[in-house]
């Protein structure tokens, strides 16, 4: 099943916000912030002070079973 995220025009965005990612993962924004602070989700891209995630990277991360980025970097993944 492909994660779904789209704008009102139906175009899939390249970068998604905290709110969009939380909705995509079916978790609260607060829980997403916890995952982010523990390093249990792929790092965000900063645009100014605003975090954004690559939807393509999130799709890949989900397909891989949402592994901890700490474990990926230790095993030489990606």
- What pLDDT score was predicted for residue 18? 97
- What pLDDT score was predicted for residue 11? 74
Separation between Cα atoms, residue 40 and residue 60, nearest integer Å = 15
pLDDT (mean) for 65-69: 91
Question: Are the C-beta atoms of 29 and 22 separated by less than 8 Å?
Answer: yes
Question: Containing domain of residue 39, as a range?
Answer: 15-75
Let me know if residue 32 belongs to a domain: yes
Angle at the Cα of 69 from the Cα atoms of 50 and 18, rounded to 5 degrees = 25
Let me know if residue 35 belongs to a domain: yes
pTM: 0.74
Question: Are the C-beta atoms of 16 and 62 separated by less than 8 Å?
Answer: no
Let me know if residue 7 belongs to a domain: no
What is the distance, to the nearest Å, from the Cα of residue 46 to the centroid of all Cα atoms in its chain? 13
- What pLDDT score was predicted for residue 6? 55
Let me know if residue 10 belongs to a domain: no
Give the count of domains, the chain: 1
Residue 63 pLDDT greater than 50, yes or no: yes
């Amino acid at each position: 099943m492909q994660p779904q995220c789209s704008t009102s025009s139906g175009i899939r965005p390249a970068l998604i916000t905290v709110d969009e990612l939380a909705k995509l993962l079916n978790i609260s924004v607060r829980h997403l912030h916890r995952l982010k602070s523990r390093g249990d989700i792929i790092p965000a891209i900063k645009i100014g002070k605003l975090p954004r995630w690559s939807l393509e990277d999130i799709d890949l991360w989900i397909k891989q079973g949402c592994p901890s980025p700490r474990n990926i970097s230790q095993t030489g993944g990606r």
